[in-house]
Structure 1
Amino acid sequence: MDQLDILKAKWQSQKSDFPQYSKDQLTGLIAKKSSSIVKWIFYIGIAEFVLLTLVNILMMDSDQHDKYIQILGGNLYIGSYLLSYVVILFFIYKFWMNYKNISADQPARMLMKNILKTRRTMRYYIWFNLIYVMVFGTLAAILVLFNDPSMTPMLESVEFQEHKVSFMAKYITIMVLFFAVFCGLLYGVYSLIYGILLRKLKRNYQELKKMEV
């Protein structure tokens, strides 16, 4: 049982053995706990951004980097990276603002609203990453098929020309399924990392809602 559970139990019992705790004191404690959770979300977002940057730097130093740019097209390659960086920075900013907006001296209803806002921001962030991987991953796989020089002999073969439509349908289906499975695994990782924090925020919200009734 953590500090909030102990304080809540004492507040609910209100026995003479314990000091009298007000609803404002409980709200302040929940606000502090919620602020700590949101701060961890902000830190994890920063860590993810740093990790993404390091991976991109390592990829730029590899021999395959120029080949990938040529295959995918410079505009798409650079545009996809710029989009990911801009959106991640935007969400990091939102996490920071959510953290700043949670304070111990704010009314319970305002605290509840900010907790819901934080949970909603986190869900948007997770879904953006999943959709980004799904869309750009599938598109990149299709471009590799048509723009990779190593694929030219196969594309020019008589067998491919005779079954072009069915081959493309199977190839796209396989790629969609592959990235769907990958996104499922990624969602599992996000659920493990962020899910614990989001469940704690939900618990804090429910505690505040009980006190407001």
Structure 2
Amino acid sequence: MYDFNLDDFKKTWQEQDVQSKYAASEISEMLHKKSRNYVKYIFWISLAEFLLFFCLGIFYIFQSESNSSFLELLRKLGVQETPELQQSFEKLYLSLKLVSLIITAYFVVQFYLNYKKIKVQDNLKLLILQIVKFRKTVNAFIFINIFLIFAFTGVLTGFVFHIFSEQNIALTHPKLIGFIVGLIFTTLLAIVLIWLYYKIVYGIIMRKLGRNLEELRKIEEE
């Protein structure tokens, strides 16, 4: 009679080759499809942001009172409003909006081009490199938007100082100091809110894309 040994049976079962439910090529294809979708989501989100800012920009361009709040603030600081001052500020304000729109439009195009390249890319190694490049582009987009807030704040502060100097108003004016403190606080608050927005909206998608990237790298190593 055959002597059944449980330990030998377990050892034999553990040494058996376990067939994967999906082949590596099928897993790679699924990860490829998911990666394309994540890139597409970021493209559509960035496009929506661009259209939103573009529509707001057009709206304020045709609003004659769009700059009145800032000029009213300057008047409270003791600045005498002149046609030259109003014209200078309108040009500055328009320039800042155009710079913001141009940069956003540039990244929208880059996201789209990345999506097109990933969509048609079949080579696994090149796909991984393309995803890495896309992640770097997204990070650059986020940091440049944060930098723009610093830059715009600096430009507006410089403009106010220039007006004060031009109209011989003391730079130690208490209202000016209060304005600068308020501007710095508002800038920091805006940066925190924007960072949270990108962290939530873009961060969720980027984390999923990152996990796909790691899985694709494992398949490539195998």
TM-score by length of 1: 0.74
Deviation of the 1:187 alpha carbon: 0.8
Provide the residue aligned with 2:92 in structure 1: 76
Structure 2 distance, partners of 1:117, 1:50, is 25
Which residue of structure 2 lines up, in the alignment, with residue 40 of structure 1? Answer: 41
Pair 1:27 & 2:35 matched: no
One-letter amino acid of the structure 2 residue matched with residue 57 of structure 1: I
Q: Distance in 2 between matches of 1:78 and 1:167?
A: 26
Quick check: 1:72–1:143 contact (8 Å CA) kept in 2? no
**SS across alignment from 2:119:** coil
Gaps of 5+ in 1: 1-12
Percent of aligned pairs with the same residue? 26
Name which of 195, 203, 206 aligns with 2:211.
203
**Max Rg structure:** 2
**1: CA distance, partners of 2:191 / 2:67:** 26
The alignment status of 1:85 with 2:101, answered yes or no, reads yes
- Partner in structure 2 of residue 107 of structure 1: 123
Query: Hey, what's the Cα distance between the residues in 2 that align with 1:63 and 1:105?
Result: 50
Partners of 1:141 and 1:59 in 2: how far apart? Answer: 21
Distance 1:164 1:135 in 2: 23
Question: C-alpha deviations, 1:40-71, integer Å up to 9, x for none?
Answer: 11101110011102212332343423656827
In structure 1, the residue matched to 2:137 is 121
Contact 1:28 1:105 in 2 (8 A): no
Number of aligned pairs? 189
**Letter aligned with residue 100 of structure 2:** S
Determine if contact 2:121/2:127 at 8 Å carries over to the other structure.
no
* Unpaired stretches in structure 2, ≥5 consecutive residues: 1-15, 72-84
**Cross-structure match for 1:133:** 149
Q: Distance in 1 between matches of 2:181 and 2:191?
A: 15
CA separation of 1:134/1:196 partners in 2, compared to 1, >3 Å: closer, same or farther? same
Query: Please, what TM-score do these two structures have when normalized by structure 2?
Result: 0.72
Distance (whole Å) between structure 1 residues aligned to residue 121 and residue 194 of structure 2: 37
**After the TM superposition, which residues 124-203 of structure 1 pair with which residues of structure 2 at under 5 Å, given as runs?**
124-144=140-160, 147=163, 156=169, 161=170, 164=172, 171-203=179-211
Structure-1 separation of matches of 2:174 and 2:155: 18
Opposite residue 149 of structure 2, the aligned amino acid is: V
Please say if residues 38 and 99 of structure 1, whose CA atoms lie closer than 8 Å, have aligned partners that are also in contact. yes
- How many angstroms does 1:22 deviate by? 2.6
Contact residue 57 and residue 97 of structure 2 kept, 8 A:
no
**CA RMSD of the aligned region, Å?**
3.1
Deviates more, 1:164-173 or 1:200-209: 164-173
Q: Is the 8 A contact 1:138 1:172 kept in 2?
A: no
Query: Would you say the 8 A contact 2:67–2:90 is kept in 1?
Result: no
